[in-house]
Amino acid sequence: MERTLNMVQAINDALRTEMRRDPRVVVLGEDVGKVGGVFRVTQGLYEEFGEDRVVDTPLSEGGIIGAAIGMALYGLVPVPEIQFADFIFPGYDQIVSELAKIRWRSGGEYAAKVVIRTPVGGGIRGGLYHSQSPESLFIHVAGLKVVCPSNPYDAKGLLLASIRDPDPVLFFEPKRVYRAAKGEVPEEDYVVELGRAKVVRAAQGAGKAVTVVAWGAMLYEALAAAEQVKKDKGIECDVIDLRTLWPVDVETITESVKKTGRLVVVHEAPRTCGFGAELVSLVCERALMHLEAPPVRVTGFDTPFPYALEMEYLPLAHRIAPEIVKTAEF
Domain boundary among 145, 165, 186: 186
Residue 318 appears among annotated catalytic residues: no
Residue 208 lies in a domain: yes
Q: Is there a single domain that holds both residue 210 and residue 324?
A: yes
- Classify each residue of 8-38 as buried b or exposed e, where b means 16 or more C-beta atoms within 10 Å of its C-beta: bbbbbbbbebbbeeeebbbbbbbbbbeebbb
Predicted local confidence at residue 306, as pLDDT: 86
For the chain, residues with pLDDT lower than 70 are 206
Residue 87 lies in a domain: yes
Q: Is there a single domain that holds both residue 231 and residue 288?
A: yes
The CATH number of the domain where 221 resides is what?
Answer: 3.40.50.920
Residues contacting residue 199 through CB under 8 Å, at least 6 positions apart: 238, 239, 240, 252, 256
Predicted local confidence at residue 214, as pLDDT: 98
Could you give the CA distance from residue 270 to residue 37 in angstroms, rounded to a whole number?
A: 28
| Residues 140-163: tens digit of each pLDDT | 999 999 999 999 999 999 999 999
Contacts made by residues 151-154, CB under 8 angstroms, sequence distance 24+? 151/7, 151/177, 151/181, 151/183, 152/5, 152/6, 152/7, 152/9, 152/10, 152/181, 152/182, 152/183, 152/185, 153/10, 153/183, 153/184, 153/185, 153/186, 153/192, 154/192, 154/198, 154/241, 154/243
Total number of domains constituting the chain: 2
Q: Is there a single domain that holds both residue 182 and residue 203?
A: no
Q: Is there a single domain that holds both residue 140 and residue 229?
A: no
Residue 193 lies in a domain: no
| Residues 256-266: tens digit of each pLDDT | 999 999 999 99
Residue 320 lies in a domain: yes
> Three-state SS across 213-281?
EECCCHHHHHHHHHHHHHHHHCCEEEEEECCEEECCCHHHHHHHHHHHCCEEEEEEEECCCCHHHHHHH
Q: Is there a single domain that holds both residue 323 and residue 265?
A: yes
Distance of CA 232 to the CA centre of its chain: 31
Which entry of 130, 140, 290, 318 is annotated as an active-site residue? 130
| Inter-CA distances, 311 with 180, 218, 329, Å | 17, 12, 27
Distance of CA 304 to the CA centre of its chain: 20
Q: Is there a single domain that holds both residue 182 and residue 236?
A: no
Domain boundary among 162, 186, 210: 186
Predicted local confidence at residue 206, as pLDDT: 66
Instruction: Supply the range of the domain harboring residue 224.
Output: 198-328
The CATH number of the domain where 85 resides is what?
Answer: 3.40.50.970
